[in-house]
Chain A
Amino acid sequence: MSAAGQSAGLWQLAWRRLIADRVAVVSMVVVGLFLLLMIASGLNLIAANWSEEVAVGYAPPSFVGAAKKTAANAPRQADNGPNAYPGTVKDPLATEIAELRRQLDGGVTTSSEADLELGDLKVVDPLAKEMAEILGTTTVAARHELADTLPFGADKWGRDVIKKTVKGSETSIFVGLTAALLATIIGTVLGAFAGYYGGRIDDFFNWFYNVFTAIPYMLLILAIAAVLNQRGVTAVVLILGLTGWTGIYRLVRAEYMKHKSREYVQAADAIGASNRRRMFVHIFPNISHVSLVQLSVNAVGFIKSEVILSFLGFGVPVDKVSWGSMLNEAQNELILGYWWQLAAATLAMALLVTAFSMFTDALRDALDPKIK
């Protein structure tokens, strides 16, 4: 107890138990670092230029060493096909424009009227601006030599895998956390009503729950995706949040059923506290550890689910990168022996998920020391 007379509540005691646990502290630091990474990336402080081409396609990690100029990438310098290397871009309208200019300058003049009209005319290349840009970038790109190796390699378009992983963490963690938050809120509120009121309200919510869980998970995801009819981070969050509340609902409902007949809730009833007050002011703080642990469990699960969604093509759009989309790309690369993108995404995900799970376990122990 401090001198001020303010003493530690159950939350503070739980916090003290948490920071006394070495595993909890280490996992918290790891999760914290990932969160910092996500925020810094979101503010464009790091990895803002992840989509820039900085190396040759599929540049291997430095510790592996530069690949030999194999048939896979060398010939692309020469051919001028649609995948042509940017240094060799030619202006496709150049010949036509030149022909027109030639006609105008030393051209055939038929009448004075025509002379007057044509005097103010100039041949304008309608695509000149765009072309200049294209030529400009390619010249900049061409100016500094593309790297043969990067610390952890590059993808098909020569983008740095490390930067991609960092940028990917932004999407993945954001999706995981917000979807988990959404699912926890839905599950907790429905569970609270069903468990507290019981009777018909409970029957109704249970019926809803049963219908929901009776539909195969993948079908449900496809259905919601079809209804939302859009792709992007919001859609992924909604899909995961709207399908993931069921587990929390059952746990919270059971807790409310247990707590509603506890003496402290009866005592609140006796002093005249309303149903809503009993539900959310009296009971909720006593069961919130369940929601909190479930939030954490779900965040881990949803980071993994996002991968599956991306794999199925319901993930984030192509102009964004997430660990899921990286793994999706990696399935083709792996056949060619380019393993580094897979390794980077897997490593980052394994580290975060492990740390998060360990943190969740420690959190549960700290919040409910009796279970252990």
Chain B
Amino acid sequence: MNGDDIIISVQNLRVSFRLDKQTVVEALKGVSFDIPRNSTVALVGESGSGKSVSSLAILGLLPKENALVAPESRILYQGRDLLRTSQSELRQLRGRDFAMIFQEPMSSLNPVFTVGKQIGEVLRVHKGMNARQAKARTIELLDEVGIPEPQRRYDAYPFQLSGGQQQRVMIAMAIACEPKLLIADEPTTALDVTIQKQIIDLVGALQKRRGLSVLWITHDLAVVGEIADRVIVMRHGVVRESGDAKEVFAHPKDDYTCALIQCRPPLDRRPRRLPVIDDYLNGACLPAAEEMQRGTSDSDETVLEVRGLCKYFVSHEGLFGKRITRAVDNVSFAMPRGKTVGLVGESGSGKSTVGLTIMRLHQADGGEVLFRGKNLLELSPRAQMEYKRHIQIIFQNPYASLNPRFVVGDILTEPMRLHGIGVNEAEREKMAAALLDRVGLPVMSLRKYPHEFSGGQRQRIAIARALTLKPEVLICDESVSALDVSVQAQVLNLLQDLQDEFRMSYLFISHDLAVIKYFSDRVVVMNGGEIVETADPDEIYRNPREPYTQRLLASIPRGLPAL
């Protein structure tokens, strides 16, 4: 590759952040990579790898107050060093030559201006167009990014568009000034798989048509395989491996890359345990472990049965108007003992509402939830208390589901205290310590607060809290979705071990078909509050009957080679 083919060259980039007077954290420890002209480079890493910091450094958007850039660092663009360019010049470059799209389109668009106005503003400021020209060009752009009826959408406000359309608007705004480099920071992470697929295709098409360079930042290797020409794998502020995408996937040289590829649940196989990062960093790439059999049989004992569950949300419109949203409509399924029922669907499909309604965290509007022959939905709050022990829930976001003012010890002993488990505080504490040990955390964690733990560790605490009551049914509401892939593998392994040990039944709710396929004995596909299809996981994967399921399956990124 000769120098003319490279648009940006990052050389020995070192960035640290000053947290307070004493603490300085090194985010990038000498990172070097090149972005070639007319190609897509993927920057892959888990949280804390420094991938976002790298992109902010290129754009000159590092926070001035506490970011320290080492003097030997260079970011070369057209012969000049971006780290030593004045702010006003950088601002011009950012509009004209570089553009960025973000993870959350809703929070990146200004809610009080129409999308047409927001795109038009970019054109007028950077291209010097007048209002009429800007409008014409904006409509062209909206058309180019695949927004239907661009004439009409020009006057739409961001909230009137769906998440996918908002992201398209962001992309239209980014390409408005024909940038040379487009930085996409996890642009599809907040979107459903079917939408993710569309956005990936769109950016790929734009890149080819316009000859852009794209720096695609993501944690998901599967997405990378679909779109990237080159891959840079980062961890803890260091580039672990970089090279041609196909080459890296086919013959990963670095243990960490190897681990990242392996620890995603595979679609075509089902190892008993998912490999985790430590397995690789301790030894070389390990062969996959034994396969596990999934599926339900008629002889399975039913623990919990949901019959015709309904939950409506009523929103008031105008003075007397009412609109009823059927979040959950006539949903029925049975949960066999010791098995996992996977509930999969896109956002708005009502899958989480099912979990919350079974727990009676939402009041149901119809149907029955039968547990040991009793309908849980009819119990008085007092009578329900006894059943709360048997059905527990683990939430999606481990940062939100633990009370930040409680130490872990209190978090774990509180449920036991409320349900009269254990004779005294000392015994409860002993049980809590044993549970912590069981989920793989040191016993001294009892006196720590949640904010001192990482996301994966917090999710383990949340699991331990649910286990204190020895439930028979555990509802996992997107419980691994917010975690890094390697941590996801660890938590899935833990959940599987616990299921084998305690014979619990799981209701595993997720938008991620790959995880559901790997983890469930039976899959329930939901869309628009209704069940679309219920089937064996392998069956669903091999021959999906319903068109919706087929569409869902087709959208799963398959960038990874089957190793």
Chains A and B come from one and the same complex: yes
Contact between B418 and A9, CB atoms less than 8 A apart: no
Residue of A9, A264, A268 with most chain B CB atoms under a 10 A cut-off: A264
Distance in Å: Cβ of B475 to nearest Cβ of chain A: 9
> Contacts A7-B452, A10-B451, A273-B414: A266 and B405 contacting too (C-beta < 8 A)?
no
> Contacts A10-B449, A270-B388: A264 and B403 contacting too (C-beta < 8 A)?
yes
> Contacts A262-B400, A267-B401: A9 and B449 contacting too (C-beta < 8 A)?
yes
Contact between B444 and A266, CB atoms less than 8 A apart: no
Contact between A273 and B405, CB atoms less than 8 A apart: no
Residue of A1, A262, A271, A286 with most chain B CB atoms under a 10 A cut-off: A271
Contact between B462 and A267, CB atoms less than 8 A apart: yes
Task: From the candidates A6, A20, A268, name the one contacting B447 in the complex (CB within 8 A).
Answer: A6
* Residues 10 to 42 of chain A near chain B (Cβ within 8 Å): 10, 20
A272 interface residue (CB < 8 Å to B): yes
Complex alpha-carbon distance, A264 and B385, angstroms: 18
* Residues 445 to 466 of chain B near chain A (Cβ within 8 Å): 447-449, 451-452, 462, 465
Tell me which residues across on chain A come within 8 A of B448, comparing CB atoms.
1, 7
Complex alpha-carbon distance, A279 and B407, angstroms: 18
Tell me which residues across on chain A come within 8 A of B396, comparing CB atoms.
263
Contact between A272 and B415, CB atoms less than 8 A apart: yes
Complex alpha-carbon distance, A223 and B418, angstroms: 47
B469 interface residue (CB < 8 Å to A): yes
Task: From the candidates B20, B359, B388, name the one contacting A20 in the complex (CB within 8 A).
Answer: B20
Task: From the candidates B395, B401, B418, name the one contacting A273 in the complex (CB within 8 A).
Answer: B418
> Contacts A7-B448, A9-B407, A266-B395: A271 and B418 contacting too (C-beta < 8 A)?
yes
Contact between B21 and A269, CB atoms less than 8 A apart: no
Complex alpha-carbon distance, A8 and B451, angstroms: 10
Tell me which residues across on chain A come within 8 A of B419, comparing CB atoms.
271-272
Residue of B405, B407, B414, B462 with most chain A CB atoms under a 10 A cut-off: B405
A282 interface residue (CB < 8 Å to B): yes
Total number of residue pairs linking A and B with CB closer than 8 Å: 72
Q: Interface size on A (CB < 8 Å)?
A: 22
Task: From the candidates A7, A20, A263, name the one contacting B401 in the complex (CB within 8 A).
Answer: A263
Contact between B395 and A7, CB atoms less than 8 A apart: no
Contact between B361 and A269, CB atoms less than 8 A apart: yes
* Residues 250 to 288 of chain A near chain B (Cβ within 8 Å): 262-264, 266-273, 282, 285-286
A106 interface residue (CB < 8 Å to B): no
- Closest residue of chain B to A273 (Cβ to Cβ) is B418
Complex alpha-carbon distance, A286 and B449, angstroms: 13
Complex alpha-carbon distance, A1 and B451, angstroms: 13
Complex alpha-carbon distance, A264 and B406, angstroms: 11
B402 interface residue (CB < 8 Å to A): yes
Task: From the candidates A10, A270, A273, A285, name the one contacting B361 in the complex (CB within 8 A).
Answer: A270
> Contacts A267-B395, A270-B359, A271-B388: A286 and B405 contacting too (C-beta < 8 A)?
yes
A126 interface residue (CB < 8 Å to B): no
Contact between A267 and B393, CB atoms less than 8 A apart: yes
Complex alpha-carbon distance, A1 and B405, angstroms: 17
Complex alpha-carbon distance, A264 and B444, angstroms: 22
> Contacts A267-B462, A271-B418, A272-B385: A5 and B405 contacting too (C-beta < 8 A)?
no
Q: Could you mark each residue 396-435 of chain B with 1 if its beta carbon is under 8 Å from any beta carbon of chain A, else 0? A: 1100111111010000001100110000000000000000
- Closest residue of chain B to A286 (Cβ to Cβ) is B405
B54 interface residue (CB < 8 Å to A): no
B392 interface residue (CB < 8 Å to A): yes
Q: Could you mark each residue 367-398 of chain B with 1 if its beta carbon is under 8 Å from any beta carbon of chain A, else 0? A: 00000000000000000010011001101110
* Residues 193 to 242 of chain A near chain B (Cβ within 8 Å): none
> Contacts A5-B447, A9-B449, A264-B402: A271 and B465 contacting too (C-beta < 8 A)?
yes
- Closest residue of chain A to B356 (Cβ to Cβ) is A266
Task: From the candidates B388, B400, B451, name the one contacting A264 in the complex (CB within 8 A).
Answer: B400
Tell me which residues across on chain A come within 8 A of B465, comparing CB atoms.
267, 271
Task: From the candidates A1, A20, A263, name the one contacting B395 in the complex (CB within 8 A).
Answer: A263
Distance in Å: Cβ of B150 to nearest Cβ of chain A: 37
Tell me which residues across on chain A come within 8 A of B388, comparing CB atoms.
270-272
Contact between A270 and B404, CB atoms less than 8 A apart: no
- Closest residue of chain A to B393 (Cβ to Cβ) is A270
Distance in Å: Cβ of A15 to nearest Cβ of chain B: 14
Distance in Å: Cβ of A304 to nearest Cβ of chain B: 33
> Contacts A10-B404, A266-B361: A271 and B414 contacting too (C-beta < 8 A)?
yes
- Closest residue of chain B to A16 (Cβ to Cβ) is B20
Contact between B401 and A264, CB atoms less than 8 A apart: yes
Tell me which residues across on chain B come within 8 A of A8, comparing CB atoms.
449
Q: Could you mark each residue 137-158 of chain B with 1 if its beta carbon is under 8 Å from any beta carbon of chain A, else 0? A: 0000000000000000000000
- Closest residue of chain A to B462 (Cβ to Cβ) is A267
Contact between A5 and B444, CB atoms less than 8 A apart: yes
- Closest residue of chain B to A288 (Cβ to Cβ) is B405
* Residues 7 to 35 of chain B near chain A (Cβ within 8 Å): 20-21
Complex alpha-carbon distance, A5 and B449, angstroms: 11
Tell me which residues across on chain A come within 8 A of B407, comparing CB atoms.
9
Complex alpha-carbon distance, A322 and B416, angstroms: 54
> Contacts A270-B388, A271-B469: A10 and B405 contacting too (C-beta < 8 A)?
yes
Distance in Å: Cβ of B370 to nearest Cβ of chain A: 19
Tell me which residues across on chain B come within 8 A of A263, comparing CB atoms.
395-397, 400-401
Task: From the candidates B20, B393, B403, B444, name the one contacting A286 in the complex (CB within 8 A).
Answer: B403
Distance in Å: Cβ of A264 to nearest Cβ of chain B: 5
Complex alpha-carbon distance, A264 and B462, angstroms: 10
Complex alpha-carbon distance, A322 and B385, angstroms: 56
- Closest residue of chain A to B384 (Cβ to Cβ) is A272
> Contacts A263-B397, A271-B414, A271-B469: A282 and B403 contacting too (C-beta < 8 A)?
yes
Complex alpha-carbon distance, A112 and B457, angstroms: 115
Contact between A286 and B447, CB atoms less than 8 A apart: no
Q: Could you mark each residue 466-495 of chain B with 1 if its beta carbon is under 8 Å from any beta carbon of chain A, else 0? A: 001100000000000000000000000000
Distance in Å: Cβ of A10 to nearest Cβ of chain B: 6
Tell me which residues across on chain B come within 8 A of A286, comparing CB atoms.
403-405
Complex alpha-carbon distance, A6 and B448, angstroms: 7
- Closest residue of chain A to B394 (Cβ to Cβ) is A267
Tell me which residues across on chain A come within 8 A of B385, comparing CB atoms.
272
Complex alpha-carbon distance, A7 and B409, angstroms: 12
Complex alpha-carbon distance, A342 and B258, angstroms: 78
Distance in Å: Cβ of A294 to nearest Cβ of chain B: 19
Distance in Å: Cβ of A306 to nearest Cβ of chain B: 34
Task: From the candidates A264, A271, A282, name the one contacting B415 in the complex (CB within 8 A).
Answer: A271
Distance in Å: Cβ of A258 to nearest Cβ of chain B: 12
Q: Which residues of A contact B (CB under 8 A)?
A: 1, 5-10, 20, 262-264, 266-273, 282, 285-286
A-B CB contact pairs (8 Å), 6 listed: A7-B452, A9-B405, A20-B20, A262-B400, A267-B401, A286-B405
Going nearest first, the 8 A-B pairs with the smallest beta carbon separation are A285-B405, A271-B415, A263-B401, A263-B400, A263-B395, A272-B388, A264-B403, A5-B444
Not counting A264-B403, A271-B414, A273-B418, a sample of 6 additional A-B residue pairs whose C-beta atoms are within 8 angstroms of each other reads A5-B444, A7-B448, A264-B400, A267-B402, A267-B462, A268-B403
